Chain A
Amino acid sequence: MIEVKNIKKGFGDKTVIQDVSAVMKAGQCNLIIGASGSGKTVLMKCMVGLFQPDEGEILYNGNDFIKMGRADKTEIRKQIGMLFQGSALFDSLNVEQNIMFPLSMFTKWDYKQKLNRVNEVLERVNLPDVNKKFPSELSGGMKKRVALARAVVLNPKYLFCDEPNSGLDPQTSLVIDKLIKDLTIEYNITTVINTHDMNSVMEIGDYILYMYKGNKEWEGNKKDIIFSKNKRLNDFIFASEFLQDAKDMRMLERAGKISDDRNMDELLNKDAPSIMPPSDSE
């Protein structure tokens, strides 16, 4: 379990996070959502120790990460896996070497043991037979899966994912979401995910923290979020008018109320004139 207590963080005169508190439980996917610039990534970087918060506490199973000595911090960090937005795979190493890196650095296993573990996690993220490929030879989705394999290779207690679906198509996003969810349950990991992908929120959001301009605006789960009366949250969730219209259109189509292309145009483009003038009238 990770507890965030009254975290504040600023850069120069600008305050980026103001007094944010949250409890992220083990075995569930804890999502931090919000618009770009709302402070999600800064909060996550404070949680993993890449940024030092100005005030507040980050408790890993009750121990304050900020006040810990270097050796204790290193011990906690060995229990953390992180999936970065850009995957952060080491360019000069192939897939196998990338995933093997934490094992080589922190275990005394022989090569065979390490290779078995690498193949095991690669199998787990559905990526067999890519061991000798370099990151430059992989697609975006494959890179994310390799990065996820590297993040979980040491069986971490805490998994942090910074926008795991950015730059991926909806289908691959679903695969990544499902993988993260499955791994979270399988290894009872405390997973923290930064995202603004509403599909992910509805797929895997066990606990959701909505950030608005550096403040905690709302918290709850995926069931609560649909019926929330928080205007800012609703504006964020239903930001895409097209999706709403498309949904309406499907419902109307099923009810047999859409009969021709003209009705569809009206629904999709509300501001456009409903009947185009004939070309010979100009």
Chain B
Amino acid sequence: MSDKEPLFSSKNLKLLTNPLNVENPITVQVLGICSALAITVKLEPAVVMAISVMVVLAVSNVVISALRKLIPPRIRIIVQLTVIATMVILVDQILKAFAYDVSKQLSVFVGLIITNCIIMGRLEAFAMSNSPWTAFLDGIGNSVGYGVILIIVGFFRELLGSGEIFGYPIFEKIGIYNIGYENNGFMILPPMALIIIGIIIWVQRSRNKELIEES
């Protein structure tokens, strides 16, 4: 075991940092858009969603990676789904028990984490062929990449749409309404989430030219 690589080798660190930028699940792979539209009206549900996805993805990645040599290839999808569904139910119950209000706001979208393509994608593409530790890092990296976009979108939508940050009425406190400012109702509608994601993609690709697809 002398050639055992250190836990945080540069290759492993890449698993954590790449999904934040050049392999971002939302802006580059364009996965998980659906939930990014649905739960980013306010910051709080966006953050809770990001954490939930992180837990589900990291744990299922580890479980599937540990079982990868035992799972018969022909039924691997259903095994993966079972693991994900178990994790999602756990997360859902915990949210209901300890954060009931947020759970209410997220409503069906916690259950829909099961169908989040990012999770299936990572299990299928990474966990099935890598060791548990690297799969864990990959899960954390991807869910952080996903969460960062959710939080950016949620920040702008809540700030410009409701004039608040985490429910704190920041625009009212600085008195911007007194000079005629009004909240932008368009920000609360789903299309604006798409437009904000589009702008993030635009900014990212103009800073990082290699991401631009050939047309």
Question: A and B, one complex?
Answer: no
Residues in chain A within 8 A of chain B (CB atoms):
none
